Structure 1
Amino acid sequence: MKLKTLVFTVLCTLGLNLPAVAKEVQIDKVVATVNEGVVLQSEIDTIINRVKSRALTDGQSLPTDDALRLQAIERLINQELLMQMSERMGLQISDAQLDQTLMMMAKEQGGTLADLRKTIESSGESYQAYREEMRVEMTTQQVLRSNVERRIYISLQEIENLLTILEQQGQTNEEYDIGHILIDLPADGNAQEIEDAKVRAEKVIKLLNEGSEFKRIAIASSGGSKALEGGQLGWMSINEMPTLFAEAVKGKKAGEIVGPLRSGAGFHIIKVQDIRGRQVVETVEVRSRHILIQPSIILSEEKARSMLAGFVKDLKEGKADFATLAKEYSEDQGSALKGGEYDWTDPSTYVPAFRDTLLSLEKDQLSEPFRSNYGWHIVQLLDKRIADKTELAKRNRAQQMLFNRKFKEESFAWQREMREQAHIEILVDE
C-alpha cells in the first residue's frame, strides 16, 4: 500500500475509533482523490509556502492564496498520476542515484553535498523531506520520458528538410525566451465555454499590455504545466516550439505579447521576453588512453587503486609499457585490445570523473588513480585539438529541435490521455 494511501486509511480509522467525547484533532486533510491515491493538504501547503518564499526572495508579487492553491492541486494531481504509473512500471530511483544527482546539484552551485544540506536546513526545510521530493521529481521525469519518447520518431528526411528550411530562413541561430499562459478549456467545451475562455484570455492580454507582471498573471491564471514557475518555458528556437507558437512569434520583437492563440487545449498567450543568436562554437577533442580496474568481491577498492598506483610508478620510471599493461589488465574490453586507446573524442561525452581528470592533464601527462562509477582508472592525454564541428552541430541541433517539439506535443497529449482515463475527485470543504 502506498504511503499516502496508508496515511489516509489510518486517519479514517482514527476518526472512526475515537470516543464520542474526544476532541477532534486534524492531523492532515485529504483534498483530492486520484484513482487509489490522495492529495493531502500538507503537500499543497508545502508548495504554496515554497512559491511564497521564492517570490519574497525575488521581490515578486503573487496572486491570491486561492489561485495558488488551485495551481498546487493541479500539479499534485499530475504528479500523483505519474507516480502511480511508476509503480505499474516498477520504476524506482535508488539512494545511490539520488545522492549522485544531489552531489551534481551541489557541485553546480559551487559547493558540496554538506553545503547543500546546510542551505536547505537554514531555510527551515527538512533535508530528508527535500531528498524525497527530489526522488519524486526524478521518478516523474523518468516516467514521462520513457512513455513519451517511445511515441516519437524522427526520420532522416525530416532532419534534411529542417536543415534546408533553416538555411533558407537564415534563422539557424535564433532563439526566443518564451513566457506562456494557457486559458484552458475542457476537451468537449461548448460554444459558451469557448467564448468565456476567449474573453478571459483577452482580459489577460489587456492586463499585460497595461504593465501587469507576466509571472504573477501566469501563476494566477495559467492552466499550463509551468504555471507555478511563472509560465517560463525558457529559451527555444522556432523549430523547437509547438507549430502554433512558432508561426505566431516568428519576426516578433522582444517584449511583444502574442495571442490569444486557439488550440484544442484552450487559448494561449505568449510573451517574447528576449531574443538571442547562437554562434557556432569550435569543439575541443582529445585523444587518450586508459586502464580500468573494476573492484569486486575478490579485488577490494584499495587493492584496485594500489595496483594502478604501481602501474603509474613503473610507467614514469620507464619500467613498463602502457599498451602492454592495458592489453593485459584493463577491463574496458573496447579499448584494451587497442592498448587502452580512445580515438579523437569530445570529452563532454565521458562520465564527469573521467572528463575532469582528462581535461586537467597536459599533453603526454599521466594521471594518478581516480574513481568513476565504472571503477578505478589511470588515463594519459595523448593529444588535444580544436575541431570544426559546424556541420555535425547543425545536424545534431536540427534533430534535437525536432525531438523537443515532438516531445512537448506528445507529452501534453499523453498526460491528457492519462488524466482522462483516471478517476479524480477534488473534495469540497463542507
Structure 2
Amino acid sequence: MNFKKLLLIPILSAALCQQALAERVQIDKVVATVNEGVVLQSEVDQIVNRVKEQAKQQGTELPSDKVLSIQATDRLVDQVLILQLANRMGLEISDAHLDQTLANIAKEQGGTIADLRRSIEASGESYQAYREELRKEITMNQVKRGAVDRRVYISPQEVDNLNKILAEQSGQSEEYDIGHILIKVDSKANPEEIAEARERAEKVIEFLNEGREFKRIAIASSGGANALDGGQLGWMGINEMPTLFAEAIKGKKKDEIVGPLRSGAGFHIVKVQDVRGREVVETVEVRSRHILLKPSIILSEEKARDMLAGFVKDLREGKADFAELAKEHSEDPGSALKGGEYDWTDPSTYVPAFRDTLMGLEKDQISEPFRSTFGWHIVQLLDKRVADKTEQAKLNRAHQLLFRRKFKEESFKWMREMREQAHIQVIESQ
C-alpha cells in the first residue's frame, strides 16, 4: 500500500476546502462596516441587478456599474444604521403584523396571499426572502416616521397662506352660471323709496328660497338688461364679473342665492345656478367604537385574539355591553374612557386594516377580531354619512404639501446626523 498517497488525500481535501471557502468569502466579501454591522457584496449586487432589470423593462439608460455599486452601498449603509436603531429601541415586527401587511398588499392587487406568493415565485424570487425584506421595510418606515415626524412643525399660518395661493390658482378655472335680478332704485330716491326697494328685493329672495322659478320672477320683477331672458347672464369667471358680484359669489355653491347687493343702480339678487371647474369633495364619514388589545410578553397574539373573539360572542348574544368592555379592557387611551367610541371621522385617516374592516360592516355590526399595526381589535360601525369636505380637503392638501416637503428635508438632516454619529468605513475594491 502506498502510504504517501493515503497521507496526501486528507491534505489535498483540506486544501480544496480552504480554496472553496476562500472563493465563497471572495464572492461575499465585506464592502462596508457600519458600527458593529457590515454591508456585503452580495447585498450590493442584488440591488444593482434589480435596478438593471427594472431599467431593462422600462428602456432606461443607466450609469456605469461602479456608480450603481456606490449608490447601492450608500443605501445599504443607511439601512443598516436604521435597523441598528430599531434593534436598540427593541422594535420588532411580529409575524401576525407581517401577515396582515401581506394580506393588504394581496388585496390591493385583487388576490390572496397565496396568489401573491405564486406571483413572487414565478418571477424567480424567494417568497421567504420577500417576507423578510418587507419586514425590514416596515421596521425602517416605523423608525423613520417616529424619528422625523416630531421634527416637522407646520404652523396654521403656513397652511392658510398656501391654501390661499392654491385657491387663487384653482379659482382662475372656476366658472359660474349666473342668474340676475335687479330691483331698480332711482338715483334721486329718498330714504323711504330706498327702504321700499330693499323690502321688495328681500321678498324676491324669500320667493326664491321657497323654490319659485328664477326665470319667471326675473321676467316679472327685474329691471336689468337681461330681464326678458329670465335674468340669465350665462357662464363667467370671477374676473369677468362686476367686482360687486365677484366678491359675493366666489366660493358659493350651486343653487345659492346671494343678495341683496346694493349698488348705484339698486339692489341686486344673484343666483349661482351651476358651478364648473371646481373640485367638490364629498367624503363618507363614520362613527364607530372599538376595543384594542396590544400583544406583549404577558399577552400573546393568540390570547389577545381569543379574548376578543369571546367579547364578540358575548356582545352578539347580548351578554355584555360594548362600552363597559372597552372601558375595562381597551388599551387605546384616546377612546377607552369614552366606551371605545370615535366621533365622526373620515375612515381614510385610519390604518388600512382598521379602515377596510370598518368599511365592510353594516350599521351596528360588530367585526371579527383583526390585526393592525397597533394590535388586535374588534370594531362596531355605529353610523355612516356623506359630508361636504371641500374646504377641509383644501386645507388638508395644503398641509400635506407642506408636510411632504418638510419631511424630506428633515429626513435628509436626520440621516446625515445618524451618519455623523456612526463609525462607517467603506472598503474600496482592489
TM bracket (short chain): 0.5 to 0.7
Alignment-derived partner of residue 284 in structure 1: 284
Report the Cα distance in structure 2 between the residues aligned to 1:113 and 1:366, rounded to whole angstroms: 30
Native 8 Å contact 1:361 1:381 kept in 2: no
Equivalent residue for 1:404?
A: 404
Structure 1 residue 52: Cα displacement? 2.4
8 Å contact from structure 1 (residues 291, 377) kept in 2: yes
Q: What's the counterpart of residue 124 of structure 2?
A: 124
Residue 46 of structure 1, CA deviation: 1.0
Deviation at 1:417, TM superposition (A): 3.0
Secondary structure at the counterpart of residue 39 of structure 2: strand
Q: Which moved more, 1:76-85 or 1:88-97?
A: 88-97
Query: Which residue does the alignment assign to 1:71?
Result: 71
The alignment's TM-score, normalised by the length of structure 2, stands at: 0.57
Q: CA deviation at 1:100?
A: 2.3
Alignment of 1:244-255 (within 5 A): none
Check the 8 A contact 2:308/2:369 in 1, yes or no: no
Q: C-alpha distance in 1, partners of 2:71/2:283?
A: 43
SS of equivalent residue, structure 2 residue 386: strand
The structural deviation recorded for 1:44 is 1.0
Matched residue, 2:114: 114
Aligned Cα RMSD in Å?
4.0
Gaps of 5+ in 2: 1-13, 174-276
1:25 to 2:33 alignment: no
Q: Percent identity?
A: 55
Q: Secondary structure at the match of 1:286?
A: strand
How big is each residue's C-alpha offset from its partner over 1:372-396, in whole Å with a ceiling of 9 and x where there is no partner? 23657473554x3321112222222
Residue 369 of structure 2 is matched in structure 1 by 371
Q: Deviations over 1:306-337 (max 9, x none)?
A: 764565466xxxxx9xxx84455555778798
Given the superposition, is the C-alpha separation of residues 279 and 77 from structure 1 closer, same or farther in structure 2, using an over 3 Å criterion? same
Q: Point out where structure 1 has 5 or more consecutive residues left out of the alignment.
A: 1-17, 174-276, 315-319
Quick one: structure 1 residues 356 and 149, their matched pair in 2 at CA, closer, same or farther if it must change by over 3 Å? closer
**Partner residue in 2 for 1:34:** 34
Give how far 1:41 is off.
Answer: 0.8
Contact 2:285-2:344 at 8 Å conserved across structures: yes
Instruction: In structure 2, give the amino acid aligned to 1:159.
Output: V
Q: Report what 2:167 is aligned to.
A: 167
* Structure 2 SS opposite 1:425: strand
In structure 2, the residue matched to 1:48 is: 48
Answering whether residue 359 of structure 2 is matched by residue 359 of structure 1, we say yes
Give the corresponding residue for 1:345: 345
SS at match of 2:385: strand
Distance in 2 separating the partners of 1:279 and 1:390: 7
| Aligned-pair CA distance for 1:137 | 1.9
Counterpart Cα distance in 1 of 2:421 and 2:305 = 50
Contact 1:312–1:366 (Cα < 8 Å) also in 2? no
* 1:101 and 2:101 are equivalent in the alignment: yes
2:370 corresponds to which letter in structure 1? S
**SS of residue matched to 1:125:** coil
**For residues 135-174 of structure 1, what are the structure 2 equivalents within 5 Å?**
135-170=135-170
Give the Å deviation of 1:284.
Answer: 1.1
SS at match of 2:142: helix
* CA pair 361-310 structure 1, distance change in 2 beyond 3 A: same
- Aligned mates of 2:336, 2:426 — CA distance in 1: 60
CA contact (8 A) 1:358 1:381 kept: no
Change (3 A) 1:30 1:292: closer
In structure 1, distance between residues paired with 2:356 and 2:415: 39
SS in 2 for 1:370: coil
Name the SS of the counterpart of 1:25 in structure 2: helix
**Relative to structure 1, is the Cα distance of residues 313 and 167 closer, same or farther in structure 2, using a 3 angstrom cutoff?**
same
Say whether the 8 Å CA contact 1:163–1:395 is kept in structure 2.
yes
- Secondary structure, counterpart of 1:26 in structure 2: helix
